[in-house]
Amino acid sequence: MPDGKGEKVICRGYEAHTSGRMVQVGQTAPDFQATNADLKEVSLSSFKGKKVILNIFPSLDTSTCAMSVRQFNAKASGLDNTVVLCLSMDLPFAQKRFCTTEGLDNVLPLSLFRSQDFVKGYGLCLEDGPLKGLAARAVIVVDEAGKVSYTQLVSEISSEPDYDAALKAVE
């Protein structure tokens, strides 16, 4: 990003930039709305009182993104008072089809395709590079009070996030 406000990631060998700075640990997580499989809006604030893992990625149609959803689905089954939101620009229909086909029911897929408040509040939209317009790969953990307790912006978009560090943040 030319004005230097975004963060740098590597996407398919090319430098890309996010639309802004990612939220920081200790900050109140900005509320946002995303669309579920029934085309209803779901807000982050509707999960207040629970720990929330935000698994953010470009698209379920890539192997790394699909793997992150599978991994969090497997690991989320043993977490108390925790919900995993899988956020991408994929349409809700595609997210539902993927999770149904894969038998994934411990995560909640949510589409960001019309969520400007997420893009503005979290700064994770790719502004340039091969995946321009999609979300960067990141994991954010929000505690029961709505505070950010862990963040990871994955510097190489084709790499998986650090699942163990994210899960440790919800313990």
11, 65, 86, 125: the active-site residue: 65
Distance CA(167)–CA(169), nearest Å, equals: 5
- The DSSP string of 117-158 is HHHHHH--BB-SSTTTTSBPPEEEEE-TTSBEEEEEE-SBTT
Say which residues have a Cβ less than 8 Å from residue 27's Cβ, sequence separation at least 6: 147, 148
The verdict on whether 125 is a catalytic residue reads: no
If DSSP codes are grouped into helix, strand and coil, which group holds residue 18? strand
- Residue 150 identity (one-letter amino acid): Y
Active site (catalytic) residues: 65
